Homo-oligomer: A and B are copies of this chain.
Amino acid sequence: MTMPVIFINCFEVPAGREDDFVAFWSEVNRYMRGKPGFVYNRLHRATTPDARFRFINYVQWNTEEHWRAAHDDGFRALLQKPHWRDFPPSTGAIFDIVCEFGEEAKAA
């Protein structure tokens, strides 16, 4: 079995715009999770007050090609909505796991 690839995206969200960001992200996420090859995702919100990235999204895709193909015209149209254009760019990239230690605790 081939392991999915991991896409990690870090967002610098201006103070006071956290709820806007979650609304935006939720809209994009609903779109992406309907695409072929989408496996799993988890959105993290910083509790550290001075964190550089307020939100980090962690996503599994079956292959890098699936991830690339999902960034289609429909996706680009979502990003062009006027209220999203002024968000700073994010850092999204594809990753492999190079080291793992211990056993992850999962929510019940």
Contact = CB atoms under 8 A, between A and B. Distances in A.
Interface stretch (A51-59, A70-78, A80-88): A51-59
Q: How many copies does the complex hold?
A: 2
Nearest to A47: B94
A40 interface: yes
Nearest to A91: B52
Interface residues of A, number: 47
A56 B8 contact: yes
Given A10-B53, A10-B91, A104 B40 contact: yes
Contacts of A47: 5, 64, 93-96
A8 to B, nearest CB: 6
Nearest to A45: B98
A1 B107 CA distance: 9
Given A53-B10, A93-B46, A93-B53, A29 B105 contact: no
A43 interface: yes
Contacts of A51: 91, 93-95
A99 B40 contact: no
B41 A101 contact: yes
